[in-house]
A and B are shown apart, each in its own frame.
Chain A
């Protein structure tokens, strides 16, 4: 009996199902993504990367950075914190309410808690629980709010404040998602490590910045030059054991400059509708419309934990 047509049909069916599942459905789902607005401040996100950073994407790709670095932050859940923002005028009822919410604290600690606001009163709650506590605090005359905090192993490593979503890569082609993490995730590296000189030294000699780094040095992105008249302002400031012999200096090639510009433009941390997160309320009005995207840094803006 000739099974040829049956095998052909089975293979055709299998490939068609894959095509529908992996090509057509995602195309319908996120194929027409547009710029979105941050929530709640409403600024446009994302903005296109600067030209130099877009060139840097090519360098990132050419040097295979994506083989060891991912750009996708995973979030496993969302919890709520209760943040006290204003103690109000009459503090007695507030102290009573706080004693109920934080039975483990002494009276003196409670008094300490309501100075230097805003402060986080309770952490890691479910949404309903946090809302009930905020209601209790507001009823006692204070001002408090629910603080949305994404959680997950990646986030506790300090790799960002929220998961990455498709919008983060809207202007990237190709998208450098990466699949392995020999090195740390880079979706937020521009926020974590905002110093271009750090990145240049790290590319030239990774272990000069990170002690146990397994990253290979990318010295071909730099060039050793004889100092003609004066030191170049772009020359790397290296420790003595890495510095070239006297009369020479290490300067960056265009590739290194572009790559660092790209790394600094990786700032997937704006609060979006699809990835809600609380950040300190919108910065005071500025006229600088060319400001780098995602100038909000949770590490410095989040209220201190008590």
Chain B
């Protein structure tokens, strides 16, 4: 037998790697990287907002770069909203529909009044007849509170209502002033608590500004 094999061998005799602490520089580097990642995310991440793409860094920046909408865009928006919400009864051409008692918008003095106060009230809260439009009395129709039923928060409602009213005041041969979302919002604050449809008498009592 050779000499080596006579030696008693145990596990403890085998070479083992000694335990060494993680080097300090590596820990420092890790934390520096982590810090850099945080800063990078803060500058570029926009909190995973799906509407923020490069080169924009935050939602506010995207909002700031929205192109200002001209009058034509506003009326175009009103046209789309009118088609979706109003044209079923008042018809695409604004002619009204005698079959269900919906008065005409074309040439209507309610639509083209110098001040939009009354038409904002009608669109916001609805109206019920009999109502006289251009000398003709419409008895059967009832308009629902289309404006109140619009989706979105109060600001979006005001903007949508303003777009619709601006559209109907500028088309069908009408040519009255455009209505701003601020005007609509101001009137809607006054009529906030009203829950019933407007009657022509109530509308005439309302300020037409």
A interface residues, Cβ below 8 angstroms from B = 25, 28-30, 33, 39-43, 75-78, 127, 145-148, 152, 163, 165-166, 271, 273-279, 281-283, 285
Q: Please state if B68 and A41 are interface contacts (CB–CB under 8 Å).
A: no
Closest 7 CB pairs of A and B: A40-B69, A282-B76, A281-B72, A42-B77, A278-B67, A40-B73, A274-B51
Which residues of the other chain, B, contact A283 by a CB distance below 8 angstroms? 76
The number of residue pairs between A and B whose CB atoms lie closer than 8 Å in the complex comes to: 78
- Find out whether the CB atom of B65 lies under 8 angstroms from the CB atom of A78: yes
Identify the interface centre among A28, A41, A148, A163: most chain B CB within 10 Å of its CB: A41
Which residues of B38-57 are within 8 A (CB) of A?
48, 50-56
User: In the complex, how many angstroms separate the beta carbon of B7 from the nearest chain A beta carbon?
Assistant: 24
Give the residues from 162 to 180 in chain B that come closer than 8 angstroms, CB to CB, to chain A.
Answer: 171
Is B55's CB under 8 angstroms from A78's CB? yes
Cα of A127 to Cα of B65 in the assembled complex, Å = 8
Q: Which of B55, B65, B67, B171 meets A76, CB within 8 Å?
A: B55
B62 at the binding interface (Cβ < 8 Å): yes
With A29-B48, A166-B50, A282-B73 given, can you name 12 additional A-B contacts, CB distance below 8 Å?
A40-B66, A40-B69, A77-B55, A78-B65, A127-B64, A127-B65, A145-B70, A273-B62, A273-B66, A274-B52, A276-B65, A283-B76
Contact of B68 among A145, A152, A165, A279 (CB under 8 A): A145
B79 close to chain A: CB less than 8 A: yes
Instruction: Tell me which residues across on chain A come within 8 A of B52, comparing CB atoms.
Output: 274
Give the docked Cα–Cα distance between A203 and B53 (Å). Answer: 34
Q: Report the separation of the CA atoms of residues A145 and B68 in the bound assembly, to the nearest whole angstrom.
A: 8
Q: Tell me, rounded to whole Å, the shortest Cβ–Cβ distance linking A48 to chain B.
A: 18
Q: Does B80 contact A (CB under 8 A)?
A: yes
When distances are taken between beta carbons in the complex, the residues of chain A under 8 Å from B74 are 40
B85 → chain A, closest Cβ, in Å?
13
Shortest distance from the beta carbon of A265 to any chain B beta carbon, whole Å: 22
Residues of B within 8 A of A77 (CB): 55
Residues of A within 8 A of B53 (CB): 163, 165, 274-275
User: Within 8 Å CB of B54, what residues of A?
Assistant: 75, 163
Bound CA–CA A29/B81 (angstroms): 29
Contacts of B67 in A (CB 8 A): 39-40, 146-148, 271, 276-279
Name the B residues within 8 Å of A163 (CB-CB): 53-54
* Cβ distance A174 to chain B, nearest Cβ, rounded Å: 20
**Which residues of chain A are near B51, meaning CB under 8 Å?**
273-274
**Nearest CB to that of B72 among chain A residues?**
A281
| Shortest distance between the CB of A130 and any CB in chain B (Å) | 11
Report the minimum CB–CB distance from A148 to chain B (whole Å). 5
Determine the distance from Cα of A165 to Cα of B66 in the docked complex, in whole angstroms: 16
Q: How far is the CB of A153 from chain B (nearest CB, A)?
A: 12
With A30-B50, A274-B51, A281-B70 already in contact, the answer to whether A42 and B65 are too (CB < 8 A) is: no
**CA of A276 to CA of B65 in the docked complex: distance in angstroms?**
6
Note all chain B residues with C-beta closer than 8 A to A274.
50-53, 62
Residues on A with beta carbons closer than 8 Å to the beta carbon of B65: 78, 127, 148, 276
CB-CB under 8 A from B69, the residues of chain A are 39-41
Measured CB to CB, the nearest residue on chain B to A80 is: B65
B80, A39: Cβ atoms under 8 Å? no
- Give CA–CA (A30, B66) in the complex, Å: 21
A282 partner residues in chain B, CB cutoff 8 A: 72-73, 75-76
- Contact indicator B76/A285 (Cβ below 8 Å): yes
- Hey, which chain A residues are within 8 Å of B68, CB to CB? 40, 145-146
